[in-house]
A = this chain, B = another copy of it.
């Protein structure tokens, strides 16, 4: 998340499996993604995803990067994600796909430097979710709980869309339109945060 007192800093775990993170793993970074106080702890190679989005989007306070298997297919074929239910209202504004090949040719697929982070942030634009071809996705929000909420429901929405497309045979789907998306997203930012207490209760350290 962005540092709550210093908007030009952000907090992120050292390179460790998320399920194993403890408070001692949190490193502070500047927006160039240089660690302020690493103290021997290793950084994620892809921290530039976070740094460049915080730089480009002052409204975003938290960024989640993930590799959900159900989401990845939408970055590999030309079928856009749509908002299948109210909890995924934040997707109704449209979900861009970032293909790292466009500017960088053949790579290891990782957003491993600032230039690649800038390109990703540009692909995301003013949306809150961006897919990364053959890699994963990024979900953002104005608070830590809202970014986690969006990461979770991007994954759930992907599963719903797979089944709905199969069920409907490619015909019309009564998904959220843009106005429904705006209205439902506003309410999700408050009432939808109910799940946060549950998710917090499952963190063990």
Contacts and interface: CB of A to CB of B under 8 A. Distances in A.
Given A20-B201, A86-B110, A187-B110, A172 B134 contact: no
A180 B20 contact: no
B77 A160 contact: no
B109 A70 contact: no
B72 A84 contact: yes
Count the copies: 4
A17 B108 CA distance: 36
Interface string A90-115: 00000000010100001111100000
B134 A109 contact: no
A107 B174 contact: no
A15 B191 CA distance: 8
Size category of the A interface is 35 or more
Nearest to A109: B86
A75 B106 contact: no
A125 interface: no
Given A108-B180, A109-B184, A133-B174, 12 more contacts: A15-B194, A45-B187, A45-B191, A69-B159, A76-B84, A76-B175, A77-B167, A77-B171, A77-B172, A77-B174, A99-B174, A169-B170
